[in-house]
A and B are shown apart, each in its own frame.
Chain A
Amino acid sequence: MSVNETDVQSALKNLIDPNTKKDFVSGKSVKNIKVSGSDVSLDILLGYPAKSVWAEIQSLVENHLKTALPGVTSVKANVSSKVVPHAVQRGVKLVDGVKNIIAVASGKGGVGKSTTAVNLALALAAEGARVGIMDADIYGPSQPTMLGISGQPDSPDGTMMNPMTNHGLQVMSIGFLIDGDTPMIWRGPMATQALDQLLRKTKWDNLDYLVVDLPPGTGDIQLSLAQTVPVTGSIIVTTPQDIALMDARKGLKMFEKVDVKIIGIVENMSTHICSNCGHEEHIFGAGGGEKMCADYSVEFLGGLPLDIRIREQSDSGTPTVVAEPDSNLTKVYQQIARRVAVKIADMAQDHSAVFPKIVVQNT
């Protein structure tokens, strides 16, 4: 029995991508099917970065086609990823060189926003994406320390700054522009202007994702970010304790008010693992993050333990995802990154939220 392209297409309609939970055809991943005799070749183009699972998906597709289509003896699937840019209305000043902006926020301070943001950025980069991180915490920048970067950014043309780089990330922070212990004693308008400059006066180089590490709360910086740039989506970081969840809810509500999509919630310090005996305990309470997700029907992206390694590695400038790439902790960050990337790829196909075109008529 001879096989044609349509047979391959329909066979792939029955194969579910374990990451997106959609079949490969409706996920628009199947390209360039070629059949010659009993040989089939095709490209699988994923909308999310997934270097670590390319091989897995390749064998999934190849085995499926061989089983589903008798008469096919060899299948060659080329798997790759291409991140789709966030669709916005024409005329909106997009940030040059950035396809998607992910805001990482929390209501309460000290819940591990910056640590989560940097590890998420590193996990996305490890999957083969081009990633930048912008430290929007004007009053308390932490990214220079967490990424082990010091010095000042270059500005070859005197107006645009080149981002600093380390561990494969492009980084910009107010911390590079001032001394370590100089406080920014600024009122709101100054801080929001600084944010705008960090964002637009940095020469971001062809980023798939720009992760923005926001300060805690629902104030000037958060509002300015939502008003001036097309944020693809936001992630809320919280701890399971009630006092943090209360403020996380406010953060979520704020993004809803300004129509920034919520990608999901990360629960930090879910449990404490004793470094002496290994005993795991819910010291801040259990299930708070999941409950909040259920209440607001948003996705629970993952939970991280209160582990001394996460703190030590971030403080010493080599966050967990690069310090221990094979550890369980890194796996959780990778899983979160995968869920975020898949969600963003989904959102890129949903055009209902695109800003309408503004038409001017002489009527």
Chain B
Amino acid sequence: MKKMAFQATGITLHQESRLLEIGFNDGQTFSFPYEYLRVYSPSADVTGHLPGEEVLQVGKQDVRIKDVAPAGSYALQITFDDGHDSGIYTWEYLHGLGSRQSELWQDYLERMAAANASRETKR
């Protein structure tokens, strides 16, 4: 048998606190701030096509989610209010973002500091 595949069991968007809550079939539930999801979008616009081509996402502090749609049965496609919608977040990817949240967020803050960039959203 292949290893158990992660599968979401519940998806809730908290539009006021800007948190996307996802429960998984292993019993864990993660709460993702919209900004965190946006700056770690798996889209090639963010990750680049090759290692080293990553594009640091700045000024996403107030980003909102306009729509969440299923991509087949294995992923979510999230549309943000800054127009970004090309990220396909697989369950596996989301589970990884959830279990490594503090580490990855810290990493993002350090990269931001190093680039002297601001999280503040300019409207």
Contacts and interface: CB of A to CB of B under 8 A. Distances in A.
Nearest to B65: A360
A220 interface: no
A361 B21 CA distance: 11
Nearest to B25: A352
Contacts of A256: 2, 5
A356 interface: yes
Interface string B63-102: 0000010111111000000000000100100000000000
Task: Name the residue in A89, A228, A256, A356 with the highest tally of chain B Cβ atoms < 10 Å from its Cβ.
Answer: A356
Interface string A351-363: 0110111111111
A206 interface: no
A14 B15 CA distance: 53
Given A256-B2, A297-B1, A362 B16 contact: yes
Nearest to B20: A358
Interface residues of B, number: 25
B72 A360 contact: no
A4 B25 CA distance: 42
A171 interface: no
Interface stretch (B6-14, B38-46, B48-56, B106-114): B6-14
B116 interface: no
A227 to B, nearest CB: 5
A258 B7 contact: no
Task: Name the residue in A89, A91, A92, A361 with the highest tally of chain B Cβ atoms < 10 Å from its Cβ.
Answer: A361
Interface in A7-49: none
A92 B70 contact: yes
Contact of B16 (A260, A352, A353, A363): A363
Given A227-B88, A363-B14, A356 B8 contact: yes
**Chain A contact patch, size range:** 20 to 34
B7 A358 contact: no
27 contacts: A89-B70, A91-B70, A227-B75, A227-B88, A230-B73, A256-B2, A256-B5, A258-B75, A259-B72, A259-B73, A259-B74, A297-B1, A352-B25, A353-B7, A355-B8, A356-B8, A356-B9, A358-B11, A359-B10, A359-B11, A359-B13, A360-B12, A360-B13, A360-B15, A361-B12, A361-B15, A363-B17
Kindly list the 9 A-B residue pairs having the minimum CB-CB distance in the complex, ordered from nearest: A259-B74, A359-B12, A358-B11, A360-B13, A227-B72, A363-B14, A226-B72, A259-B73, A227-B71
